[in-house]
Amino acid sequence: MKKKILSLLLALVMALSLVPPSVLAAPDDLGQAHVIVENTTFTKPVDGKAPAWTGTLVDTWVKLTEDSTAMSCVTEALDAKGYTHTGTTYISEINGLSAGDGGAASGWMGTLNDWFTNVGFNDIKAGDKLFAGDTI
């Protein structure tokens, strides 16, 4: 009897070892992304207009879900800290600092893991191009 139970238990363990861990994980447990929002370029007045803020405004971690995009992570991080922002596909203002404030060609730029992306932040989706531990 003991040998039968041990054999069945061993067979179960072997069968479970063939299942990829991703199948056993909860579908919404995708880890966290690191979000940093900073102004390091428009730090002095331009044409008499001073920046609304400089330096790092947000440095936090955001939980990734199946619906997360780089854009949703940035807006979630800003919302969590109580900062204002406008734009859904392109951020045109963050906490009083708007695109164009630093000159005619100024605006917000984004990186993923210190690289400028060749797609919009809405196109950087969790599980596709955005993964746990990434920095936006």
Residue that is written with structure tokens 């990734």 in the block: 64
pLDDT, position 4: 73
pLDDT, position 88: 87
Is the pLDDT at 80 greater than 90, yes or no? yes
Please report the beta strands in 1-136, taking only residues with DSSP state E, as ranges in sequence order.
32-39, 55-63, 85-86, 93-94, 97-98, 111-112, 115-116
Give SS3 for 14: helix
pLDDT, position 20: 66
Q: Which residues contact 24 (CB under 8 A, 6 or more apart)?
A: none
pLDDT in tens, 46-59: 988 999 999 999 99
pLDDT in tens, 30-44: 999 999 999 999 999
Alpha-carbon distance 7 to 1, whole Å? 10
- Name the residue type at position 13: V
Q: Which residues contact 103 (CB under 8 A, 6 or more apart)?
A: 46, 47
